A and B are shown apart, each in its own frame.
Chain A
Amino acid sequence: MKKFLPPLIPLVVITLAVESSVRSGFVPSYLVPAPSAVLRALINSRDELAAAMAKTSAAALLGFALSTLTGIAIAVLLSSSRAIQRAFYPYAVFFQTVPIIAIAPLLVIWFGYGMKTVIASAFIVSIFPVIANTLTGLLSTDPALRDLFRLYGASPAVTLVKLRFPAALPQILTGLRVASGLAVIGAIVGEFIGGQGLGSVVDVARTQQRVDKVFAAVLLASVLGLALFGLINLISAVTLRRWHASEQAS
């Protein structure tokens, strides 16, 4: 309870402040909806929002899973030789700087309207932090431990599985934490342009001047991002509990 109380206080205070300033007419309700109106929109459009939430969740999760698998595989490949790393890492960095909103229309041309485009968008936005963090982790293995594995004739594959990968796990999980939030953003952006889900709900509600519904959808998108983040933290707590300082506080 002590852990949850401090962040709860500002939430209650700000919600009440917004509610009263909208009700008193200080802030016009077509700009900022009263929190009670957002709640009403959540209840009234619950079927539509639930369906949108399910679609966005599925697309974000799939995009995130795809960038996790591909990102780790690419990092393993990059870490295997300095030459490969020099040749390809700049492109990974370049990939990260591509503004997703600018190439989203292109994705529609490639993948059509629908979930594929949304997944692709979530994937493209979230892969770079996975690559960068995994690579850092794989390249910072303790040299003494690498010597130890060499001394007993361990093959590169065995060294990867039994030493380099587990040693990189804390950094990999850091990458996944960042990527999880980005995957949700990528999915929403994809839905703006070519998909169904919370993103398209926001887009439609905006044209109808329904700020309450926009806020309701945004709120759900945040919940989705938080849930993914929580999932990674859970995995991190379970896998690192015994040995890593980051999970040994208290």
Chain B
Amino acid sequence: MDLSIDSGEFLAVLGPSGCGKSTLLRMIARLSPPDGGRIVTEPEQFQTAFVFQDASLLPWRTVLDNAALPLELLGSGREARYAKARAALAQVGLAEAEERYPAQLSGGMRMRVSLARALVTEPRLLLMDEPFAALDEITRFNLEVQLRDLWQRRGMTVIFVTHSISEAAFLANRAVVLARRGGKIRLDRHIDLPSDRTNDLRSDPRLGHEMKLLMGAMEEE
């Protein structure tokens, strides 16, 4: 596979189960070593964040302490990390919930805490591994709009792995479809949709057109 990703891109990675989408993400995060080949980043070191399939929160910590965790691990002081965690929670609309525990939140709220935790370090690169797959559709739609909005305001690079064609077309500026085996790229497409994306776009025929193209590439196998 030969894939180069520009800074500030919103890239969706689609493909059948087991094609290596998640592995690709883990290799970019340097959580797994590649079998061969190289992953080159420019600059070499920068802050990366990862959002997992499940919210993966620490259940014994409050929402605020969960959102502040990355800064705590990176060694920043108490005041600074709480201020930044509060700001990140406000960005995902959870300012009111900071004293609550994960068990007291809905699935959508937990995922928003997870998103706030990822944003708290102001990462240059945000890696997301099917983060909304377990949520109900309305919650997912709203989170997608929110994520798109956050991306536009913060100018970070997002790599979003998903198995949902509609999600990929709705969110991304560029979508890549991987083949079942061998890490080949079947389709690499610029998504031709307006940059402001609201839930109104979901019934737009242009979105349907993009989805059809992506589906075509997925079905070819």
A150 is contacted by which of B31, B56, B74, B102 (Cβ under 8 Å)?
A: B31
State the interface size on chain B (CB cutoff 8 A): 22
Residue of A nearest to B127 (CB): A151
Nearest CB of chain A from residue B220's CB, rounded to whole Å:
32
Q: A166, B60: Cβ atoms under 8 Å?
A: yes
Closest beta carbon of chain A to B47's beta carbon, Å? 9
A interface SS class: helix
Could you tell me the distance in whole angstroms from the C-beta of B177 to the nearest C-beta in chain A? 25
Decide if A149 is an interface residue (CB 8 Å cutoff). Answer: yes
Residues of A within 8 Å of B70, CB to CB, are: 148, 152
Q: Which residues of A contact B56 (CB under 8 A)?
A: 142, 144-145, 148
Check if B31 sits within 8 Å of A147, measured CB to CB: yes
Task: Determine whether the beta carbon of B103 is less than 8 Å from that of A152.
Answer: no
Within B52-89, the residues touching A (CB, 8 Å) are 52-54, 56, 58-60, 69-70, 72-74
Smallest CB gap from B121: residue in A:
A152
Report the separation of the CA atoms of residues A148 and B29 in the bound assembly, to the nearest whole angstrom: 10
Does A147 lie within 8 Å of B50, measured CB to CB?
yes
Nearest Cβ on chain A to B76's Cβ, whole angstroms: 11
- Residues of the B chain whose Cβ atoms lie less than 8 Å from the Cβ of A169: 60
**Minimum CB distance partner of B32 in chain A:** A147
Among A149, A153, A163, A242, find the residue whose CB has the most chain B CB atoms closer than 10 A. Answer: A242
Chain A residues closer than 8 Å to B52, beta-carbon distance: 144, 147-148
Contacts A142-B56, A144-B54, A148-B50 hold; do A153 and B73 have CB atoms under 8 A apart? yes
List residues of chain A with CB under 8 Å of any chain B CB.
Answer: 142, 144-145, 147-154, 158, 162-163, 166-167, 169, 242-245, 248
Pull 21 A–B residue pairs with CB atoms less than 8 Å apart, ordered by A: A144-B52, A144-B54, A147-B29, A147-B50, A147-B52, A148-B69, A150-B31, A151-B29, A151-B31, A151-B50, A152-B69, A152-B70, A154-B73, A158-B73, A169-B60, A243-B59, A243-B60, A243-B101, A244-B59, A245-B103, A248-B103
| Residues of B bordering A, CB below 8 Å | 26, 29, 31, 48-50, 52-54, 56, 58-60, 69-70, 72-74, 101-103, 121
